[in-house]
A and B are shown apart, each in its own frame.
Chain A
Amino acid sequence: MKQHPLCTDTEHAPNVMEMNVPPGLKQEWAELQTRRHFLGRTGKVLGWAAMASLLGSRAMKGDAHAGANGPYGAQAGGPLKLPHFAPKAKRAIYLFMSGGPSQVDLWDYKPNLAALYDKDIPDSVRGAQQLTGMTSGQARFPVAPSHWAFKRYGETGTFVSDLLPYTGRMVDDLAIIKSTNTEAINHEPAIMLMNTGNMNAGKPCLGSWLAYGLGSMNDNLPTFMVLQSKLNTKENNQPVSSRLWSSGFLSSEYAGVGLRSAGDPVLYLTDPDGVDREVRRTMLDAVNEINRRTYEELGDPETNARIAQYEMAYRMQTSVPELADLSKEPKSTWDLYGPEAKEPGTFAYNCLMARRLAERGVRFTQVYKRGWDMHDNVTGILPIICGETDRGCYALVTDLKQRGLLDDTLVVWAGEFGRTVYSQGGLSKENYGRDHHPRCYTTWMTGGGVRTGITYGETDDYSYNVVKDPVTVRDFNATLLHCLGIDHNKLTYKFQGLDQKLTGPVPASVVPGLLA
């Protein structure tokens, strides 16, 4: 067998006759190698070969699209014919609030809870909901009313917590979903479910599906970019791993490309001293040639992905510095985003960056903000994290709107679950903790395709169960895809014998009430 050119292992195949095994086994081996045996096996091989050619290459490869679409994904003209219908939004920005923001303290206004302070929530409300190990042993589940007051904002008079004064100013432009609910109760499965439609790792995330389905609008930047915000060590930061922007079984070209929050936005992107752009080009040409030959020999589509990534990195050597250069931003930008936005890696900076990526035709930008996981000391931590994120969210939506980008950009704000109305640990008038709560949590979206100025869904008096218009994670994702012109049932990829899709095998439906 011919060796792979990059493989240094040059051993020959083992010969049984030279091995240190009992002579009886050698005899048995020799007898197996009879002429009849040889002819029989040859016949079978020929049969399989004939069948393979009869069935055609598609049947054997499992999926004919794999890696065959180049940088343009499967968009119209390609085999998947995307978008399926004229989209309202061409790109999306997803502000991911990792850890599970408390809907009780931010959005889901329940003034009646004040009277129920320290009373146990009724078993009839709690129902059969499984609790996490952190509170399942608690003897009591005392109601912890929100420490903060709520005010009406905007023409719609929507109640928003005093913790989000900036967000409050733009409620008329949002579709607030109070009835989002998930099946997962712990961070990793829940965050995987939100991002990939499956609690187990290995499936492509929303951004990868979009990159695969819609392709690039700008070849000089990745189709899907991920911005992580700097950690605040006071907060309880749950890990966020690269599987959340993994392309799963899709070609790795469609994986998200992260920008770092400090130092070089992309590591090793700048040429080292003594290497100029021409040298870099010559080197890349040579590497590409080797890769091309490897592809011809082995036919692994991932080799093409590798070539494409090298080329993308080369183009990013000029596009990323231009992207990160904020010197030309007018003063009005800093007035809007606040002084924090000048510091790379802050949430406000990432929001500004998300706007710049949208302007530059990046299909999907996901901004992660960790630290919403508040099992104790809600009154100590929640104001801090709201202060870090509130103005950025407002600035981003307002900025997109004034620049005319909100017409065709979808903006989403969501975490992986909500928080319990009952206190985890000790409850006092001054402080309390809240455990994970999957049955209802609040998210919002705005921009292209979204019906704004509405509150969708209702929860019960305890902000514990959805009583009207539930939106499951599947429905949520199906709706996002719809805004981008995609029928979630038709954006599929054949893998392991299934037509895989973002919304999974359980039926999902677009939520018409959220659409413009």
Chain B
Amino acid sequence: MLVDRFLPKSRTTRRKWMAALLLSLALVLLPWVVKLDGKPHAEWEHFLGRFHMLALHLPIGLLLLIPVLEVAGKKRSALREAAGFVLALAFASCLLAMMLGYLLAHGGGDSGPVLTRHMAGGIALTIAALLCLLARPWWAGSDVPHVYPALLTCTLLVLVWTAHQGGTLTHGSNYLTQYMPVGLKRWSGLAETPTTGSFYAKRINPIFDANCVACHGEGKIKGGLRLDSYESLMNGGQDGPVIFAGQPERSLLLTRVTLPPGHKQLMPAEGKPPLSAEQIAWIRAWIQQGASQTAATLAGISLREEQAELPLTPVGDYSALMPEIRQMEQAQGAKVKPVSSKPEDGLILFTVDASSSFGDADLEKLQKFAPYIVEAELGRTAVTNASFDTLKQFTHLRALHLEETRVTGLGLAKLAPLTQLTYLNLSGTQVTAASVAPLSGMKNLRHVYLYNTPAEPAPGTEPAQPAARSAP
């Protein structure tokens, strides 16, 4: 009979099963007996609980090792023997990690759905490991061939799920996907909805997302406070509201993030980096001016988007050309100097020594070095529109100074192949609005200076060109 096979045969085995059943029952009842009520308890619990982070990696490693040992054990029986031992160890470490984890949650006063799931997972995992331990002798004795492999598979699945819940608790739910390539994100439906235009959405909520919601979010709700939405933020926590619109001094949230370093109640807690002065200033101003969910701008706070600098494209190594460059410098008076000690940063052309005599013909002589020159200072030289034919070969050019030269802008379109060009100074020349129009097609060209030219936009009007940006 099948049932006979399942029934414990000897008295010791029966005792083992009894003990296992009792333990499982105790574990299942644990959350009802010792409740996780979201309030901190004894400090020693918290102290011991912190070792959960240390202990939890043991069962993960050991449990993952078991199937490897079992499979490899087909050929080498010694490994199969070891698997039994490792399984016993895995169960012991599971139990330890689980107990420590419980102490951590109970001592630290943590609660929340993710935490509950993680706890349930931990208990289930411990019981599953225990069942594996008991079922393995049947399988080894070939009495019941399928129960143990099935149990082990389930155990591993529970392990993965529990570990993921735990990771979400410590690192936040978007930890794994934060840097996912955009294409993949879109495909997997994780693409973020574009933030709405309000100051809260653009500046305040992202601060909480990055620094607070790991403990005050969907997963963990420390102190009963959630910061993952505007409504929950305004609802406050167990000590009442944390934001009083218009009263930054009364707002507990601001108080807690501005405590002196090392203060026990300083947030973000537990060695996480404090908020920056700028972030605190934003929060303060936002509260001061009504803590609105919808206001788009605040007086006194700039919403200027930081323009990311174009990453530098390395140029080739020009070291072999240095003797020739020195010769040219001697003959011409123009200087070609390295940008930095790294050859890939390229060269700068200085002409200020020889400015009045440096003309189009002199520029043409530099063609050989053209691909290595990233910045050309041709201000106050004798170059004309004809220089554009030479300049278009300066393929790595990032900055071009033509201020107070005789260029009139005719032929500026020839610079279109210079995709790296971000800075163009035409101040004090005779360029006109029409002649600089082709520049609008160069999308990396962010800094165009037209001071003191016919093309200069009249004061008070918005420049059609990205001229004279607001800050360096």
Contacts and interface: CB of A to CB of B under 8 A. Distances in A.
Given A75-B337, A76-B337, A453-B471, A220 B353 contact: yes
A233 B276 CA distance: 45
Nearest to A449: B472
A468 B337 CA distance: 41
Contact of B345 (A86, A330, A403, A408): A86
A337 B339 CA distance: 33
B458 to A, nearest CB: 13
Nearest to A220: B353
A402 B451 contact: yes
A218 B353 contact: yes
Given A86-B345, A401-B472, A332 B452 contact: yes
A321 to B, nearest CB: 15
Interface stretch (A149-157, A197-205, A296-304): A149-157
B266 to A, nearest CB: 13
Given A217-B350, A404-B468, A452-B471, A86 B277 contact: no
By size class, the interface of chain A is 35 or more
A452 B312 contact: no
Interface stretch (B123-131, B200-208, B234-242, B297-305): B297-305
Contacts of A513: 276-277
A450 B471 CA distance: 10
B472 A450 contact: yes
Contacts of A29: none
A86 B304 contact: no
Contacts of A360: 352
B322 interface: yes
Interface in A307-334: 330, 332
Interface residues of B, number: 39
A172 B342 contact: no
A222 interface: no
Interface in A144-196: 152, 155-157, 172-173
Contacts of A485: 340
A452 B401 CA distance: 24
A461 to B, nearest CB: 14
Interface string B356-381: 00000000000000000000010110
Interface string B454-472: 0000000000000010111
Contact of B472 (A361, A448, A455): A448
B230 interface: no
A68 to B, nearest CB: 16
B270 interface: no
A456 B337 CA distance: 35
B449 A403 contact: yes
A359 interface: yes
Contacts of A173: 471-472
A406 B380 CA distance: 18
B338 A75 contact: yes
Contacts of B472: 173, 401, 406-407, 446-448, 450, 452, 516
A84 B471 contact: no
A60 B117 CA distance: 73
A155 B452 contact: no
Contacts of B425: 403-404
Contact of A86 (B285, B299, B312, B377): B312
A453 B470 CA distance: 10
Interface in A399-448: 401-404, 406-408, 446-448
A49 B134 CA distance: 86
B228 to A, nearest CB: 28
B312 to A, nearest CB: 7
A85 interface: yes
Contacts of A265: none
A404 B352 contact: no
Contacts of B379: 359
B155 interface: no
Contacts of A455: 277
A402 B468 contact: yes
A441 to B, nearest CB: 18
Given A76-B340, A173-B471, A157 B301 contact: yes
B423 interface: yes
**What are the nearest 5 A-B pairs in CB distance?**
A157-B300, A404-B449, A76-B338, A81-B341, A361-B352
9 contacts: A75-B338, A81-B341, A82-B340, A86-B342, A172-B470, A173-B472, A402-B451, A404-B423, A452-B471
